[in-house]
Structure 1
């Protein structure tokens, strides 16, 4: 008997057809977003990362880890009080989104300034100087806009030629 006639060696011919699953709306949206952002991602990939930036990030992470391994006395209780002040601020800031930003930051800043008064004074001086500079720039910009806009002439008046 021939080998092709034995059922062990022969298999029925199957007609297989690959059917791709239909794309969902989410997949379509992600695909469109990727196509839109492709030029920008390609542009960002043209710049190689700078070794110095990676080195400094690594250095700061190492120093932070080293500091947390050997903290100064009373660091963790202070950290706990400052964190608790932030949580209380979140609890009190029900309502607007502005309150959710201001209250925790303010309470944490107040509790931090109790533990680190010298640093708080130094930061307040810098922040005060910055706020003064920004307000002065805003005042100058508003004054320039106010003076640059000529008053509109009344429609009945004639313009004199000089």
Structure 2
């Protein structure tokens, strides 16, 4: 048995070598005799753990887990649809928010003579509504055309750019509609003959 008297460093005791007395199971030797060769701590049976064969068993799902799995499977198509819709809508919402922020900044620090021009443009719209009494088509055409004319007088560069882009889009839509009408109105016999002559 190891007897240690008071020490100033008790943590250093684990580093000191000491003798271990072990008894033999068969009883052939003296139980109190020290071992002939020093043993490591890992060689003692006290510190060695027997080898265990562990096997993982998957727990059976309960009723709550089964109902949650069923609910998740039934909600999965809707979640995929919502994610796709959100991915489509998100850029448009960002554009609208950006446009609103830009308009707010523009109205907070407007250029010179912005409000008088906006007042005149609004007045021409009201004048168009006053002149277009009696017909719904006039109520749509007169104010819109008067506002467009007065706006183009104050902002000619922007009006020219808008007119050009609108003309391009009208031209493209006219070409598409002409091609679609040509497909519909073209007889089937000519299609077969054209497909035979082309390599």
**Shorter-chain TM-score: which interval?**
0.5 to 0.7
Matched pairs, number: 107
Counterpart of 2:146 (choices 102, 107, 113) is 107
Q: Does residue 72 in structure 1 map to residue 105 in structure 2?
A: no
- Alignment-derived partner of residue 22 in structure 1: none
RMSD, matched Cα:
2.8
Scaled by the length of structure 1, the TM-score of the pair is 0.55
Scaled by the length of structure 2, the TM-score of the pair is 0.45
- Alignment-derived partner of residue 82 in structure 2: 47
Gap change, CA 1:82 and 1:134, over 3 Å in 2: same
Q: Does residue 131 in structure 1 map to residue 170 in structure 2?
A: yes
- Alignment-derived partner of residue 3 in structure 2: none
Structure 2 residue matching 1:88: 3-state secondary structure? helix
Bigger relative contact order (CA 8 A; separation at least 6)? 1
Structure 2 residue matching 1:47: 3-state secondary structure? helix
Q: Does residue 119 in structure 1 map to residue 154 in structure 2?
A: no
Counterpart CA distance in 2 for 1:100 and 1:58 is: 31
Q: C-alpha displacement at 1:144, in angstroms? A: 2.2
**Structure 1: runs of 5 or more not aligned:** 1-42, 151-162
When Rg is computed on C-alpha atoms for both structures, the one with the higher figure is 2
